[in-house]
Structure 1
Amino acid sequence: MNVASPATARTVGFKHGERNVFFHLLTACNLSCRHCYINPDQHGTQTLSLETVRQWLRLFARSEQETNLILLGGEPTLHPELPAIIRAAKNLRYAVTVDTNGYLFHDLLNRVTPDELDYLSFSLDGPDAATNDPIRGEGVFDRCTANIRRAVAAGFNTSLIYTVSSLNVEQLPQMPALLSDLGVHRFFIQVIGLRGSSATPQSEAATHWQVEPQQWLEIIPQVAAEAAQRGIHVVFPKVFLDPGEQFQCAGIVSENYFIFPNGRVYRCPLCEDYPIHSAVIENNRLVPCDGLTEERFFQLTIPEGCVMNRLLQPGNISYHSDGTPVHCISCCLLKQEILPVSS
């Protein structure tokens, strides 16, 4: 390992023409994660047919350029036609990632090849069962890590998503060693969002999910740098803009689409608990929505930065005595990355 070369983060600015499609094939899942963002009342409960998926994929494909496609659920490997969906997407010039909770239903590893799938992305929320399983479910850690090892051994490019909350932020520094042992190629550190289950009021044992700004700034960049030193490509949200750094909203300057089984299409993931989606798919056509949609909010300029964060997650923001925000909150889709340090 080359430890002489420092691993430093760089902000990955929004690129003109870059397109990302987050496609929820279904909302069903075998797990009941405490922070799941799926909201069946807003997202639907159906499983899309293979033909419907093919039709909808054509709406967002571009023959002249590659589009990033992330296949999601619920748990996408519960879809029995997932291998055929992957192949259909590749034929439409998508770069395909499957986000899985690690259970890999329907024998996925033996029904697709590493050449057909760009990335297989797993979710863990702890470096051990004691941290992960109270969040994601009993036995999940062992099942997920075993299948990561199988995927790596079979030659798949693998990534792992860790959703940071108050329940697991202190255990995050243990993750680089685990990722290195598992052979994971990319590491996505994700900040908890108050959406779906985590936004639902709970009983007297209500969870304070969000991580304090100072704790985030002290822990996350350091963990990311260590993972990069171990040869892992790390991506994590910018969250707080540097002084003088200009705020940009991905809903205005880039193309990101979040598609749900009921046909709703959002441009901002923070909006997904509300019927303010930008468009809807009707009769296999993408139809813009009228009225008060998320795109109206994107146009607003406030000192706090992201308007949707100010409205929906005000706990992320603290203020000076004069009422000005201590930090300007970045667009949740603005990322930083640290490239792996070559060994």
Structure 2
Amino acid sequence: MNETISVPLARTVGFQPGERNVFLHLLTACNLHCRHCYINPPEHGTNMLSLDTVRQWLALFARPAQSGQASNLILLGGEPTLHPDLAAIIRLAKSLRYAVTVDSNGYLFHDLLEKTTPQELDYLSFSLDGPEAAVNDPIRGTGSFQVCTENIRRAVAKGFQASLICTVSALNIRHIARMPALAASLGIKRLFLQVIGLRGKPAAGAASAGGSWQVQPEDWFATVPQVAMDAAARGLHVVYPKVYLEETDRFECAGTAAENYFVFPNGRVYRCPLCEDFPIHSLEIAGNALVRHAGLNEDRFFALNIPEGCVMNRLLQPDNIGYDRNGRPLHRISCCLLKQEILPAK
């Protein structure tokens, strides 16, 4: 009998009705100065949320127990492990039935691995932007590759579900083919390949003298899907953004089809991460209540149907889109929250 070999296949992960994802920035401070950092303190605030404030804010987004549905909580910064009460926040979130992920640069301050457990923390996600220090450190900071990889090994040894986030840009796309081997060697279970967003520092200037952050469509198509397939073949669960829609794909905006909330320490709540450099947030937390932000804001644009696909990308990142001689877009841009997924081969 011939053995059937399972081949991993990419599939688009559509927006699921009722799914709620809360991206809570506990602070904007960080020990690193990553060249592609999207944090914008004048727009996001500079304060650190107190434990009491976090408790009140998490209650605003938690689902009632009788709903039978949980919310996903991603704790961010800045660097979230700089928060001295992070372990208590994780336990608080679990008591409110959140599935909890911490996104860290890998430095794991305040002895996080000693103060929480794999039962309390669903995923501990680490950021690396290259398969070696020579690629990663010029982007994220000197010494960050060594610290991050050492702490990934510690976390895996303690039984934490570790995932890896790699932000793909023109600075590292020639090197990401080696990321799956690194991730597998570290014991990583999930690999996220992100595309650079032109917000925060990248929106303020070029990546280098005469250079650009942007990944060209032909480079994306030639590189990222193949890297994702290699990672899945090594046993990793891989997620990466759809970015470009096929002719037969229907455009769908997460702002109208899903519940995603990007919450910052100054109380701003965005539904679209592309908008975070501007005071056009659709919601805000005021008086411990979630209220609609007055004025012409992001949510007024979500329902617009344009040939380019994502209207916010067209408004805020127009250089992402090329046109033919007749003025038609060469590619439709998907919602930045629409993902491709490859499950590991069995």
Taking structure 1 as the reference length, the TM-score comes to: 0.97
Question: Within 5 A, what are the aligned runs for 1:1-343?
Answer: 4-63=5-64, 64=67, 65-201=69-205, 205=209, 207-342=211-346
SS at 1:309's partner residue? helix
CA displacement 1:85-106 (0-9 Å, x = unmatched): 0000000010000000000000
Secondary structure of 1:214 counterpart? helix
| Cα distance in structure 2, aligned partners of 1:77 and 1:308 | 31
- 1:290 is displaced (CA, Å) by 1.5
- SS across alignment from 2:24: strand
Asked whether the equivalents of residues 70 and 99 of structure 1 are also in contact (C-alpha less than 8 Å), the reply is yes
The structural deviation recorded for 1:317 is: 1.1
Q: Decide whether aligned partners of structure 1 residues 97 and 336 sit closer, same or farther in structure 2, where only a CA change above 3 A counts.
A: same
TM-score, length basis structure 2: 0.97
**In terms of mean alpha carbon deviation, does 126-135 or 207-216 score higher?**
207-216
Looking at structure 1, the residues matched to 4 and 237 of structure 2 have their Cα atoms a distance apart, in angstroms, of 15
Q: Which whole-Å CA distance do the structure 2 matches of 1:314 and 1:202 have between them? A: 15
SS of aligned partner of 2:150:
helix
What letter is aligned with 1:182? Answer: L
- Whole-Å separation in 1 of the counterparts to 2:89 and 2:208: 44
SS in 2 for 1:74: coil
Given that 2:51 and 2:89 are in contact with CA atoms closer than 8 Å, whether structure 1 keeps it comes out as yes
How far apart, CA to CA, are the structure 2 residues paired with 1:271 and 1:57? 22
Whole-angstrom CA distance in 2 between matches of 1:119 and 1:203: 31
Which whole-Å deviations, capped at 9, do the CAs of 1:274-314 have from their partners, x for residues lacking one?
A: 00001110111111011111001112111000011111212
User: Contact (CA 8 Å) 1:213, 1:316: kept in 2 or not?
Assistant: no
1:309 and 1:327, CA in 2 relative to 1: closer, same or farther beyond 3 A?
same
SS of residue matched to 1:270: helix
Give the letter aligned to residue 246 of structure 1.
Answer: R
Output the amino acid matched with 2:83: H
Distance 1:202 1:238, change over 3 A: closer
Change (3 A) 1:143 1:151: same
- The letter for the 1-side match of 2:19 is E
Measured against aligned partners, the alpha-carbon deviations of 1:164-191 in whole angstroms (never above 9, x if no partner) come to 0000001010011101100000000000
What is the aligned-residue RMSD (CA, Å)? 1.3
1:244: Cα distance to partner?
A: 2.2
Is contact 2:206–2:213 with CA below 8 Å preserved after alignment? Answer: no
Change (3 A) 1:266 1:206: farther
Question: Conserved in 1, the CA contact under 8 Å of 2:206 and 2:212?
Answer: no
Per-residue CA deviation, residues 128-153 of structure 1 (Å, 9 max, x unaligned), is: 00000000000000000000000000
1:307-327: CA deviations, max 9, x gaps? 111112122211122111111
SS of alignment partner, residue 211 of structure 1: coil
User: 1:218, CA displacement in angstroms?
Assistant: 1.1
Q: CA deviation at 1:206?
A: 5.1
Q: Distance in 2 between matches of 1:148 and 1:3?
A: 34
Question: Which amino acid counterpart does residue 95 of structure 1 have in structure 2?
Answer: A
Q: Secondary structure at the match of 1:298?
A: coil
Q: Pick closer, same or farther for the CA change 1:285–1:206 going to 2, 3 Å.
A: farther
What is the rounded CA distance, in whole Å, between the counterparts of 1:301 and 1:202 in structure 2? 30
- Percent identity over the alignment is 68
CA 1:147–1:272 in 2, change beyond 3 Å: closer, same or farther?
Answer: same
Task: Report runs of 4+ in structure 1 exceeding 4 Å deviation.
Answer: none
Q: Distance in 1 between matches of 2:195 and 2:320?
A: 11
Amino acid paired to 1:22:
F
Which amino acid letter does the alignment assign opposite residue 137 of structure 1?
A: G
What is the CA–CA distance in structure 2 between the aligned matches of 1:244 and 1:160, rounded to whole Å?
31
Instruction: For 1:174 and 1:104, locate their aligned partners in 2 and report how far apart those are by CA, in whole Å.
Output: 25
Cα gap change, 1:204 to 1:261, in 2 (>3 Å): closer
Q: Do the aligned partners of 1:3 and 1:229 also contact (CA within 8 Å) in 2?
A: no
CA distance in 2, matches of 1:296, 1:66: 28
- Where 1:247 maps in the other structure, the secondary structure is coil
Structure 2: which 5+ residue stretches go unaligned?
none
